[in-house]
Structure 1
Amino acid sequence: MSGSNSQASVAESCEKLRDLTAARLVKAQAHDWGVPVDAYLIDAADFESRLVAYVYADLSGRLDDGMTIVTPPVELISQYKGMALFRTMCGKDNYVLVSRLLGAASLSSAR
C-alpha cells in the first residue's frame, strides 16, 4: 500500500469513527435517562472514581463542546446499550458516558 493510499485509509477510518460517535451521541440524547443530563461524555477514561472525557451538550452552558473535563467522583446509576449514566457522589450532577477511549479501564465493569 502506498503512503497516499494509507493516509486516505486512515482519514476514512477517522471519519467513520466520528460519524459513529455522533450517532451514539444522538441516541444518548434521545434516550429518557429519567433525570436531567448535565452533560454527555465522549472518549471517556476512568481515573480513580472520576471520568476524564470530552464534554458535549453541557446543560449549564459553561463548557464548550469538545472541551476536556474531569468529573468529580461519580457512581454508576444505570446502563443502556453500551452507554452509562453516572451521578456525582454529592448527587448534584448527572453525566452520560457515550463512548470510552479505546483501551481505557471501566468504572462500570469494576462495580
Structure 2
Amino acid sequence: MWKWVILVLVVMLGLLQYRLWFGEGGIREFNDIQARADVLDGTTQTLKARNDRLAAEVVDLKTGLDAIEERARSDIGMVRKDEQFFWVPNVDGSHGPAAETGVITP
C-alpha cells in the first residue's frame, strides 16, 4: 500500500515540476517575456534619447536666433546682408547648398 502512495506522490511531484518549468506561466515563459522586455527597454532608451535631443532643439529654436541662423545656413545656404556670396565648386563630395557655397564676412 505504501508503495502506491509513494508512487502517486512522485508522479504528482513530476507533473507539478513539468508545469513549473514548461507549462503556462512557467519559468520558460517568464524568461521569454524577460528577454522581450529587455529588447523593448533598449529601444525605449534609444527613442527617449532622440526625443530629448529633439526637445532641446525645439527649445533652442524657440528661444534663440542662433539655432535658426545655423539651420538656415546649413540646410538652405542662406547668407546675411553684410556677407559676400562666392560659388565654390564641390571638391570634397559634400552635398547641399551650404556645401557648394562659400560665405565670407567682411
TM-score (norm 2): 0.31
Going by fraction, where is strand more abundant, 1 or 2? 1
Q: Give the number of the structure with larger relative contact order, counting CA–CA contacts within 8 Å between residues 6 or more apart.
A: 1
Going by fraction, where is helix more abundant, 1 or 2? 2
TM-score (norm 1): 0.30
